[in-house]
A and B are shown apart, each in its own frame.
Chain A
Amino acid sequence: MTYFPEEVVEHIFDFVGSHRDRNTVSTVCKAWYQVERLSRRTVFVGNCYAIGPERVMARFPGIKSLSVKGKPHFADFNLVPYDWGGFALPWIVAAARLCPGLEELRLKRMVVTDDGLELLARSFPNFKSLVLISCEGFSTDGLATIATYCRGLRELDLQENEVEDHGCQWLSFFPDSCTSLVSLNFGCLKGEVNGGALERLVARCPNLRSLKLSPAVSVESLNKILARASHLVDLGTGSFAVDHRTDVYHMLMNSFPKFKSLRNLSGFWDASPCCLRAVYPVCTSLTVLNLSYAPAIQGDDLIKIICLCFKLQKLWVLDSIGDKGLAVVASTCKELQELRVFPCDIYGAGTTSVTEEGLLAVSSGCPKLNSLLYFCYQMTNAALITIAKNCPHFTRFRLCILDPGKPDPVTDQPLDEGFGAIVRSCKNLRRLSLSGRLTDQVFLYIGMYAERLEMLSIAFAGDSDKGMIYVLNGCKNLRKLEIRDCPFGDIALLKNVAKYETMRSLWMSSCDITLGGCKALAAKMPRLNVEIINENEETYEFEENLSDLHKLEKIYVYRTVAGPRNDAPDFVWTL
């Protein structure tokens, strides 16, 4: 490689796209390392505590796009305490100082403050895209500073964030000169929205292709917006329920036919069945439909709309669709790749819900299905085995049987064989979530067959340490392992400690891990942070009174080159 001048090597590297490949390329020799680091434009940091921000920015001064993730996945389900960590500010500060050319920032499960947003807004003259997913800690004031200072902003995408409402005026802070927006998503905001400001903003952004509104945006406002945004490809409605005897309703019915490019529909917050009819004219070209926030749309109305969506590739619905509705999906949506069925009624057994029959139908009718999230009340081994045969292309298979530890209702057997069939058949499986009654056997299968598996989520499963050991000894591509309420203890934790350095992280809660086990792990593996999250104990008691036999409620273990973090709250101890 000394034959080629740097510019040529750099040009070749332009074709090396994926992060992994670029990482590999940089390890070949010093020259390549240098060329690669200076020409790198995108960096993805899967765990914000695995490396310090300054180190990343110093190595890659030319990055235009940065993506960082903070809290462990189980934070989505309230298993991680509110103030555990994952602060965005150090990353924004470092980037402001070392990478002023930054154009895109994508943060997931991090704590972002208004100060951070303001610093972001003021520090990067070419800033184009901000994507915040499942973040918290900021308010609409922070959004106002983004609107004010990010000239040329193209994308503001807020998904599932906890945003404090400090008033509706933030939209008015987009200056009249702002005409560059391509994508605007504020569906997660709870507060009032200034309809007029929104309508004017949409009207002056001719390149707007994706618009997702919050529940506070009225149908009336939507009508006005739709009148001026006929090039939209991706629409998330605001509120979607009005009386059918009103003018607003009639206008809504006439708003959609002219949309030639619309492909994605979502929102439908509390949509009513009669309003849903408004979108029928566009259904035949839809590729993505998300009705999972519309509990008032019951099975029959869902069927009416799905019947029209024969080009659908992605469908998110509530389990009110029922097995009957899923059969319609199976016969209509031959292009379907991703299906998510969410539970309507979490705490009781719903009258309409889905069972293994629905999933069987879809697996048989939709040969392209590769991604699944399915909440149901029961599943059988026989069904899973058939599903595995029908759909060998699953890359993501997440099954949640709502009753923890529930066996196959027909045979009373655990679901080991069913999930075993899935991992054996789906050679490209990257993500798997298990549920139902499961013994160590299923983990034996996973360890043996799930070679491409990167993320595994386990709850209320297994009989002994062996289960976890099978997984750690197999699954050579495992990156994230999250476990809750399983009988795995120190023996499993310590059996294959080297494995954790090949993984991003391990989460274990309500298992049988002891303080002594964690101490041993930390002692053997200095390049891991072994965090103990102990919300229940008095801080001062910990050092003196807790023996090594004390069982730990929550642990989070991750590889890092940054050492123990200095922003951990009182109840988090890094051993």
Chain B
Amino acid sequence: MELELGLALPGGDLIAELGLASEKRTSTCRKRGFDDMFYGATSPPLFVHKDGDDDDGDDDDSRFNHLQELNLGSRVLVGWPPVRVSRRKGEEGGKRRVNCVKVNMEGVAIGRKVDLSLHDSYQALFLTLSQMFPKKQHDGEESDAAFYKVTYEDEDGDWMLVGDVPWEAFIQSVKRLKILN
């Protein structure tokens, strides 16, 4: 279906008028070709991240595929869709009580904090951690989250390997996390 859509001003190049740096856009009235890189055959189920640069990476395949994997029904996107908490099914008592724990990676100065109440499984947690602490191998690809060794300090002060106990038990007792290199 061809769309003939014209919303431009009668004359003149608006971009030039506004004094903005020009690039390839010479007309404000055009059918924009679509960057197949992003949408290809199937739309990503929930989450698409757009690169900030104008020369959008044709090389950005790997990054995009990684991000596609991120969406497996776990709540990685905070606050989306923009629906008040009182309308969300299955979240008793309105606002979720946050459960933030500190995360440090061996050898990295700056720590992060992760809100465990936004995750419902170890898989979801590892995905978030891999976003926070991306591991770069020499070819620039990000490594599989499963290769992380993550330990946690439990309520008794002992350091345990993450993943051994059921998720519900884990989130009750975890005090903080440490990722081993």
Contact = CB atoms under 8 A, between A and B. Distances in A.
Contacts of B149: none
A425 to B, nearest CB: 10
A420 to B, nearest CB: 5
Contact of A77 (B44, B49, B82, B102): B82
Contacts of A512: 52
Interface residues of B, number: 54
B89 A538 contact: no
A76 B84 contact: yes
Does more than half of chain B's interface fall in helix, strand or loop, or is it mixed? loop
B147 interface: no
A545 B110 contact: yes
Interface residues of A, number: 73
A424 interface: yes
Contact of A405 (B7, B14, B48, B56): B48
B91 to A, nearest CB: 10
Interface string A338-371: 0000110111000000000000000000000000
B99 to A, nearest CB: 11
Interface stretch (B73-81, B134-142, B150-158, B160-168): B73-81
A538 B81 contact: no
Interface stretch (A36-44, A325-333, A406-414): A406-414
A74 B28 CA distance: 32
Contacts of B109: 541, 545
Given A445-B7, A487-B50, A411 B1 contact: yes
B180 interface: no
Does more than half of chain A's interface fall in helix, strand or loop, or is it mixed? loop
Interface string A185-204: 00010100000000000000
Given A484-B79, A487-B50, A413 B87 contact: no
B31 interface: yes
Contact of B110 (A162, A487, A538): A538
A487 B52 contact: yes
Interface in B75-124: 77-89, 93-96, 98, 100, 102, 109-113
A413 B3 contact: yes
Contact of A417 (B7, B77, B82, B96): B7
Given A77-B84, A463-B50, A385 B95 contact: no
Interface stretch (A167-175, A236-244, A396-404): A396-404
B33 to A, nearest CB: 9
A80 to B, nearest CB: 9
A194 B16 CA distance: 68
Contact of B46 (A74, A375, A403, A469): A403
A460 B110 contact: no
Given A413-B31, A538-B110, A541-B109, A78 B3 contact: no
B89 A345 contact: yes
A342 B50 contact: no
Interface in A222-263: none
A489 B52 contact: yes
A463 B102 contact: no
Interface string A25-41: 00000000000000000
A521 interface: no
A78 B18 contact: no
B81 A417 contact: no
Shortest 9 CB-CB distances between A and B: which pairs? A77-B79, A487-B52, A405-B48, A417-B5, A536-B112, A79-B79, A538-B111, A420-B7, A512-B52
Interface of A: 74, 76-79, 81-82, 134, 136, 160, 162, 188, 190, 292-293, 295, 342-343, 345-347, 375, 381-382, 385, 400, 402-407, 410-414, 416-417, 420-421, 424, 433, 437, 439, 441, 444-445, 448, 457, 459-460, 462-464, 466, 469-470, 473, 484-489, 512, 535-538, 541, 545-546
